[in-house]
Amino acid sequence: MTGTRDDVAAAERWFVEHGLPYFVDDYRAAVARGLRRPRLVPALAVAVVVAAVAGLVTGAWLGVASALGAALTVFGVVLAVYAVAVLRAWLIVGWAIRRTFRSMGLMLPLVTRALPLLLLFITFLFINTEVWQVAASLDGGVLWVTVLLFAAIAVGFLLTRLPEELDSVDDEVEAAQLIEACTGTPLEPAARRIAARVDRVGAVDAEVSGLQKANLVLVLLVAQAVQVLLLALAVFAFFIVFGLVAMEPEVLQLWLAHPVHALDGPLGHLFGQRLSLELLRVSTFLAAFSGLYFTVYAVTDELYRRQFFSVVIRELERAVSARVAYRSLRDEDRDEDLA
């Protein structure tokens, strides 16, 4: 019985290390408790109250737009803390970040496929008078709300499209597929033990639902969000450098009908009026818009989907197959306890 229990513990650690904590029964039960109304409603109430207080305090000093941005930000932060502490979200986010940086060799050619066309399109906006007049006039609160709006649209788009990528992940699992998926994992012995039984019945139903399905979607969502964030930061850095080189303060003053506001501090002294508050605002606005554009492109472009999502989907298919062996191990452990 000790051997089976050790195998179960090792398998559960493997799932957690691969960003799939909801595949583990104990984790899933704890998360399910955290999503029940008696615990979720108070958490939402605290988030609303703290966000309202933050909005009122900020609004008294900086205005309505800043109040809205502060309230939305604080609301999101409180929910994020709850998700990290109760819903084990940090395990999923941590895996996605590690996965992204481990696959930079794959990511770079994928991003460079989209980046030239994106920069070609966005650069014409960057040297457009109306864009500077609109974006540079946004104060900090309005600009932050705009960035949050772009992010919310991107996440909403991903949540509607990513489940389609999982349609084939939880189909039936055959014996050869089960052994291949579990090779090199703590579940390999269990997979080989049940392979003969799978051969007799033809295949095993591997469908996932509920929190386990949500875990698969979250893995895809966070992995894609990390890529979009890195691309948006790259676009932001590009426009800062391009603005410092190409945008003369006199031209910007003519466009904006007022002098540009140079930044204070060491960087402001180094670059003078070329590094202005207006340049930061325009670069931030276009970087956020670029993130939204790339989100749509990544999900709709067939070549990108095949190259990026096929790699992640294969990992998820492996995890779903491994789940079959894990369920078998859990049943064996339960039977031994009853015996």
What average pLDDT does the segment 110-128 reach? 76
Q: pTM higher than 0.85 for the full model?
A: no
* Distance between CA atoms of residues 321 and 160, nearest Å: 25
Instruction: Examine residue 283 and state whether it is found in any structural domain, yes or no.
Output: yes
Confidence of residue 171 (pLDDT cuts 50, 70, 90): low
pLDDT at residue 104 greater than cutoff 70: no
Q: Which two tokens stand for residue 296?
A: 């749509």
**Would you give the distance in Å from CA 183 to the centre of its chain?**
28
Which pLDDT score is estimated for 201?
Answer: 45
pLDDT at residue 25 greater than cutoff 80: yes
Bridge partners (DSSP) of residue 204 are: 173
Instruction: Examine residue 239 and state whether it is found in any structural domain, yes or no.
Output: yes
Expressed as residue numbers, the domain containing 295 is 91-338
Taking only Cα atoms into account, the Rg of the chain, rounded to an integer number of angstroms, comes to 25
Q: Which residues contact 211 (CB under 8 A, 6 or more apart)?
A: 22, 28, 31, 32
pLDDT at residue 137 greater than cutoff 50: yes
Confidence of residue 1 (pLDDT cuts 50, 70, 90): very low
Instruction: Examine residue 324 and state whether it is found in any structural domain, yes or no.
Output: yes
> 223, 100 in Cβ contact below 8 A?
yes
Q: Which two tokens stand for residue 132?
A: 């500077």
* Distance between CA atoms of residues 71 and 74, nearest Å: 5
Q: Domain total for the chain?
A: 1
* Distance between CA atoms of residues 43 and 113, nearest Å: 43
Instruction: Examine residue 15 and state whether it is found in any structural domain, yes or no.
Output: no
Which pLDDT score is estimated for 337?
Answer: 54
Q: Residue type at 174?
A: E
Instruction: Examine residue 30 and state whether it is found in any structural domain, yes or no.
Output: no
Instruction: Examine residue 294 and state whether it is found in any structural domain, yes or no.
Output: yes
Instruction: Examine residue 197 and state whether it is found in any structural domain, yes or no.
Output: yes
Instruction: Examine residue 63 and state whether it is found in any structural domain, yes or no.
Output: no
- Reported as a single tens digit per residue, the pLDDT across 266-312 is 766 667 678 888 899 999 999 999 999 888 887 787 777 666 667 77
